[in-house]
A = this chain, B = another copy of it.
Amino acid sequence: MYRSHNCGELNASNINTEVTLAGWVQKSRDKGFMNWVDLRDRYGITQLIFDESRTNKAVFELAKTLGREFVIQVKGTVIEREAKNKNIPTGEIEILVSELTILNAALTPPFTIEDETDGGEDIRMKYRYLDIRRNPVKNSLLFRHKVAMEVRKYLSDLDFCEVETPYLIKSTPEGARDFVVPSRMNEGQFYALPQSPQTFKQLLMVGGMDKYFQIVKCFRDEDLRADRQPEFTQIDCEMAFVEQEDILNVFEGLTRHLLKEIKGIDVDKFPRITYDYAMKTYGNDKPDIRFGMEFGELNEFAQHKEFPVFNAAELVVGIAVPGAGNYTRKEIDALIDWVKRPQVGASGMVYAKCNDDGTYKSSVDKFYDQDDLGQWAKITGAKPGDMIFVLSGPANKTRAQLSALRMELATRLGLRNPEEFAPLWVIDFPLLELDEESGRYHAMHHPFTSPKPEDMQLLETEPGKVRANAYDMVLNGNEIGGGSIRIHDKATQQLMFKYLGFTEEEAKAQFGFLMDAFQFGAPPHGGLAFGLDRLVAILGGQETIRDFIAFPKNNSGRDVMIDAPAAIDEAQLKELAIKLDLK
C-alpha cells in the first residue's frame, strides 16, 4: 500500500502520528524558505509543508520541482497547522514531510482541475479522465453509485430479484431505431441491442419470477437531442399479480426512500393527476408543480367580444405570473418575441397587467373591459401585482406553447429550486396517439400496454379516446419513470397488434414468442422503468445528465476521448459478411 491514510481523514486527533500519503499535487505555494503543497486524492486535500529549517535538504529541493497534478508519495509527521482552515476536515493539521517520492510526473493539464474550471465542454470530454478529478464530476459519479445502491437495497429487501437480461437480442422495426450487431456465426443475420428489456421482463413474469428489477444499459440509435445519450441506464422493474395501484405504491415508496436517504427530505403521498388534467392544467404531461401558474381556460370570457384572433381560436388560455405586473413594455415585447421563436411557435401573445389598485391594463383594452379582465384574473388566479399572459389557437399547440412560457418564466423567476422536490404521478394516459403524418395510430407507451377494460369498446370507434393503465412518475418537470399494466393474454395482444397496423405475419415474426408465452399461463403483470441518468441528475440538483455519466458521448454519438466509432479492418468486415455501402 502506498499510503497509511487518505487525504481526507487526518485531523487534530492524529497530531504527532507518522503517516504516509499519496495523491496529486493540487497546488504549491513556494515562499522560498517554506513550501506548502496541497495534496489531493478522492477523499480530500491535505496540506504538506516543506520547511528549510526542518526538512532534509534533498527533499526540500525536490519539492520545489513539483508541478500541478504530479503524483507523489510522502512520509511525514502530522503537526498542528498555524493558519487553520475551518472549511475542510483536514484544516487543522498539516504534514511535515520527511520523505518525498515522485510516483509519476505530469504534463500541465489542458484545463484547471478546480471546481470552476477554465476548460470548455469539448476539451473536458477529450480529457475526461482529468475532468473526473474535479469535484463536481467525481462527486456526481459517487452520488450516482449511492443512488444505485439504495435502489438495489430497497428493492432487494422487498424480494425483488435483479435478473440480467441479454444484450444481444432481436431487432424490431417498431419504435425507435435499433443499434444492430452483425453475427459472424450466423451469416447475414444481426442481433440488436435492447432499447429496453421489455419483452424479457414480461417473460420473467410468465416464468414466475414475481418481482424483477435490473439496473441496465439500454440503447437507441436516435438523432441526439441535447442531453440524450445513445446508451442510457434504466432501473427496470416488473411485478406479477398486481394492479396499477400496487405498482404506484411500491415505486412511490422507492422514490420516497431515495428522497429521504439521499436528500434527507420527507415527502408526503404523491399527488396523482390524470393525463387529461395535466394537459389542461399545465399543457404538459410532465408538469413541474413546485410552483403554481396553472392554466386558466378563458374561452367563455374572451370569445364574447369582437376580438377576431380569440374568436377564431379553438382555445384561449392564460397564466398569471406572480409579481410580473411591473414588467416594462420592453420586457413584455421580449417575451412576445420569445414565444414567437420557431422553437415555441406562438403567433402572438396578449397580456393584462393586474394593477395594485385592482384595475387592469391589457394589450386588448380595445376589446375587453375591466369586468372581462377581472374574469380572466379570477380564472387564472391572478392577484394585484401579477401579469396575465394569454395565448390562443389550436388547443394542443397552444397548451404546449403556454407550457413552454410557464417553464421559462418560472426559471427566470427562480421558482424552480433544485433543492425542492415535487414528485407526482400522471395516470390514465391514452393508449394510442395519432401520428399526424401517416394518419396511423401508434402505441403511446408501447404495444404491450393494456387498455382500460372499460374503454375496450372504444377501440373500434374512437381509438384516440381509449385510456391505458399507464402511468408516469414526474419529478420537477421531468418524466423520471413510466410504465403500465401489460396485456397478458394472446387474444388481446393480437388485437392490439392489429390496431397498430401489424399484419398477422409481422406480429408473429416479431413477437410470436411473447404471444406463445401468454398461452402457457401468464399471470397478470405490470411494471415500470426509471431513467437512472435523469433521476440522479435531478436528485443531484442538476439540469444536465452529462456529469453523472463517466464517459458520455457527444451529440454526434462520438466518444471524443477514445475516438469512437472508427473504421474497422477490411478483414473484420469480411468475416462478418458485410461490406460498406457509403452514400
Residues of A bordering B, CB below 8 Å: 1-3, 6, 22, 24, 40-43, 69-71, 73, 103-107, 109, 127-133, 138, 141-142, 144-145, 148-149, 152, 156, 161-171, 173, 177-193, 199-200, 203-204, 206-211, 217, 219, 221, 223-224, 230-231, 233, 241-243, 245-246, 488-489, 513, 517-524, 549-551, 553, 556-559, 561-569, 572-583
Cβ contacts under 8 Å, A167 to chain B: 167, 193, 217, 219, 231
- 21 A-B pairs with C-beta separation under 8 A: A2-B242, A41-B241, A42-B210, A71-B523, A104-B488, A104-B521, A129-B517, A145-B161, A149-B156, A164-B549, A165-B550, A167-B219, A167-B231, A168-B179, A169-B559, A177-B572, A180-B572, A189-B565, A190-B567, A191-B565, A192-B564
What's the nearest-Cβ distance from chain B to residue A192, in Å?
A: 8
Please determine whether A523 and B561 come into contact, CB atoms closer than 8 angstroms. no
Cβ contacts under 8 Å, A145 to chain B: 156, 161-163
Complexed CA–CA distance, A462 and B183 (Å): 40
How many identical subunits does the complex contain?
Answer: 2
Complexed CA–CA distance, A561 and B207 (Å): 13
What's the nearest-Cβ distance from chain B to residue A401, in Å?
A: 31
Please determine whether A104 and B489 come into contact, CB atoms closer than 8 angstroms. yes
Residue of B nearest to A575 (CB): B177
Residue of B nearest to A137 (CB): B207
Cβ contacts under 8 Å, A6 to chain B: 210
Cβ contacts under 8 Å, A130 to chain B: 206-207, 520
Cβ contacts under 8 Å, A574 to chain B: 581
Of B186, B193, B563, B565, which one neighbours A190 at CB under 8 angstroms? Answer: B565
Please determine whether A208 and B41 come into contact, CB atoms closer than 8 angstroms. yes
Please determine whether B578 and A579 come into contact, CB atoms closer than 8 angstroms. yes
Complexed CA–CA distance, A383 and B246 (Å): 67
Please determine whether B103 and A523 come into contact, CB atoms closer than 8 angstroms. yes
Complexed CA–CA distance, A245 and B562 (Å): 31
Complexed CA–CA distance, A577 and B565 (Å): 14
Please determine whether B107 and A556 come into contact, CB atoms closer than 8 angstroms. no
Please determine whether B523 and A564 come into contact, CB atoms closer than 8 angstroms. no
Complexed CA–CA distance, A189 and B70 (Å): 37
Cβ contacts under 8 Å, A572 to chain B: 171, 173, 177-178, 180
What's the nearest-Cβ distance from chain B to residue A369, in Å?
A: 57
Residue of B nearest to A216 (CB): B217
What's the nearest-Cβ distance from chain B to residue A503, in Å?
A: 15
Please determine whether B171 and A566 come into contact, CB atoms closer than 8 angstroms. yes
Cβ contacts under 8 Å, A549 to chain B: 164
Please determine whether A565 and B168 come into contact, CB atoms closer than 8 angstroms. yes
What's the nearest-Cβ distance from chain B to residue A436, in Å?
A: 22
Interface centre among A144, A242, A563, A576 (most CB of B within 10 A): A576
What's the nearest-Cβ distance from chain B to residue A135, in Å?
A: 10
Of B179, B204, B580, which one neighbours A188 at CB under 8 angstroms? Answer: B580
